[in-house]
Structure 1
Amino acid sequence: RERHKPDMSPVLEYIFSHAQVSKKNVLVTMLIDQLCGRDPTLADELMVILNELTQLSKMENSKVALRARQVLIASHLPSYELRHNQVESIFLSAIDMYG
């Protein structure tokens, strides 16, 4: 504040920006959901950005960090269809084996 005494506009911009953090977090979360959707495959650039978002450590950013982490985890899991087919295959081979 002392540094900007002649021109307080940077201080005011910082205050107004910080006051809108929760709205910005909602926007970022919505962007993550829109960009990632239900498609578990992610572009490399998007994975880098999501990794950076998981590093947000302030409590006010926890929802953004959590959503980014959830999307990254989901991208490493096989699809539901693949998991379903694997379980079905295991059951069918067990039925063939044990009758």
Structure 2
Amino acid sequence: EMQFQQAHYDKCVINLREKHKPDMSPVLDYIFSHAQVFKKNILVTMLIDQLCGRDPTLADELMVILNELTQLSKMENSKVALRARQVLIASHLPSYEL
């Protein structure tokens, strides 16, 4: 979804077409993938919940991915970005267990 975060949808498609000028199949892949953004958001949110659950400790690889997810700025990705931020914040809080 990062390809669709910088500008309006039409401008993003034009940028993708310029980037992949000789071969348009990657552009179509991006467009068809973006058409399913709401389903992907649900899936990613469920994966975050499953992987992070109640365990506040996170692997370094997972923290990198969560940081990337927080960079999603479009309204359609807001639930994913919010959930990623919540998990990152929870991982920095001290444990209350003795």
Q: 1:17 to 1:74 in 2, by over 3 A?
A: same
- Residues of 1 paired with 2:63 and 2:20: CA distance? 38
1:93 is matched with which residue? none
Q: 1:47 to 1:7 in 2, by over 3 A?
A: closer
| TM-score under structure 2 length normalisation | 0.68
* Residue 12 (structure 1) shift: 5.1
The structure in which a higher percent of residues are helix is 1
> Please, which runs of 5 or more residues in structure 1 have no aligned partner?
83-99
- Residues of 1 paired with 2:61 and 2:20: CA distance? 37
Percent sequence identity is 95
Question: What is the alpha-carbon root mean square deviation over aligned residues?
Answer: 2.6
> Please, which runs of 5 or more residues in structure 2 have no aligned partner?
1-16
Instruction: Please list, as runs of the form range in 1=range in 2, the aligned pairs for 1:5-20 lying within 5 A after superposition.
Output: 13-20=29-36
| TM-score under structure 1 length normalisation | 0.67
Larger Rg: 1
| Larger RCO, structures 1/2 (Cα 8 Å, 6+ apart) | 2
Spell out, residue by residue over 1:4-27, the C-alpha distance to the aligned partner (whole angstroms, 9 max, x if none): 999986665444322210000000
Q: 1:56 to 1:4 in 2, by over 3 A?
A: closer
